[in-house]
Structure 1
């Protein structure tokens, strides 16, 4: 299977036929294609936004678009966000935090965190500027998030046999730079807001990395999911912000 299709199968619920389940080696080769998958997701979100906006009032359209966003990814990254809320915020040891994050049950931190996050995402979508600015935000958010998660995969891992280690195994810096092309394209469409989103998204990823190192001893697959969701949200908020210079 082509690495792009492997990335598509891993990151989305789009129908991709495969005779074999995902393995670490193909997944590592697919990693540089993650941002391109993000760009495709952004295009699908643009189409969904246009259709929903034509059929429903703005608030309902934003709620439905958030549901479509989650459906396209199978809630994969939201699960990581919820697990990180339970694990990173628990006043326990790093080892116990890792155990909590592997527990399939949802704790109170996860429930509150998910509700607040989804509310912010809905209202950020509702507040996007009309026209090209809003389209650029929807293109850039999933693309930038899936590029920054590659950088996160190259950082120290809390679980040596985890997802990050599998991704980093075949990921080289030249491939990481090449994978930036879709990000640069989407950011260019956003003008100054696109440039600001790049900086703020990178800052969010760095803060998440610091928290993961301090509380877990490194990065996990759940931390990568948290990174994707938070970078997407930061990008949307950057475009939604009422700042004249942007």
Structure 2
């Protein structure tokens, strides 16, 4: 139970009182990332429903684009920005890792965040205009898939740094945690009822997590906390784009 709370504390700004996870609990937290994602998905089903009922399209699109970042206080966005700065620095591996560890955000980081918001907003509006009720599945699955992608990325990767908090998670990853991160997207996609196309989404998510792990290994020699955050943000975007294509194909 405390490891699950540790996962919630890492992935959200939900009030948990004076709870302070130990290193052992943080090491076990990735197992619970998918379950935390499922909890957040239920929360965002309600938020999406409220947006569809009470808000005009553009405002609903803005809320559904920004609300996930409010939940995490921009934690994963920071990882995306740092990853972009490191990847496109043109330096060697060790220097890239140093750049990613720097607390300042560079030009490529700003560009990555701006591009992500623009693409997410455009995708949400596209779904909203073509099939509004599909957002009731697209947004929750986006939230769930992002957290499951994090767990999958950890399973496929080794830690790129010699030391760091993230090292604990990579050293204590489990097959059962990976299977949970694999099963939940399939189960939720099956419940979506947009068959058969939507059942391809979990496979796409798995392929993305594996491909991202190969990319980070090639560029950095492994994964870091920043690449986990980037994996989550890009998995969310991938989910929305999948729904845009699926709806357009069905039309």
TM-score scaled to structure 2, two decimals?
Answer: 0.89
* Greater mean alpha carbon deviation, residues 29-38 or residues 186-195: 186-195
In structure 2, the partner of 1:7 is: 7
Cα deviation digits, residues 59-93 of structure 1 (max 9, x gap): 12111222211111111111100111111111111
Alpha-carbon deviation of 1:164? 3.9
Q: Which residue is 2:159 aligned to?
A: 157
Long gaps (5+) in structure 1: none
Shift of 1:122: 1.0
Instruction: Out of 7-16 and 202-211, give the one that drifted further.
Output: 202-211
Whole-angstrom CA distance in 2 between matches of 1:205 and 1:19: 31
Question: 1:104-158 deviations in whole A, cap 9, x for unaligned?
Answer: 1111111111111101111112222322x32222222222222222222131211
Distance 2:233 2:191 in 1: 21
1:63-142 paired onto structure 2 within 5 Å:
63-128=62-127, 129-131=131-133, 133-142=134-143
Question: Quick check: 1:24–1:167 contact (8 Å CA) kept in 2?
Answer: no
Q: Distance in 2 between matches of 1:179 and 1:47?
A: 23
Structure 2 portions without partners, runs of 5+ = none
Aligned partners of 2:13 and 2:73 also within 8 Å: yes
Q: Is the 8 A contact 2:88 2:108 kept in 1?
A: yes
User: 1:178: Cα distance to partner?
Assistant: 3.4
Q: Report Cα offsets for 1:39-75 as digits up to 9, x if no partner.
A: 1111222211222233322112111222211111111
Is the Cα contact below 8 Å between 2:48 and 2:139 reproduced in 1? no
1:151-185 CA distance string (max 9 Å, x none): 22131211143344211333221232134443232
- When normalised by structure 1's length, the TM-score is 0.91
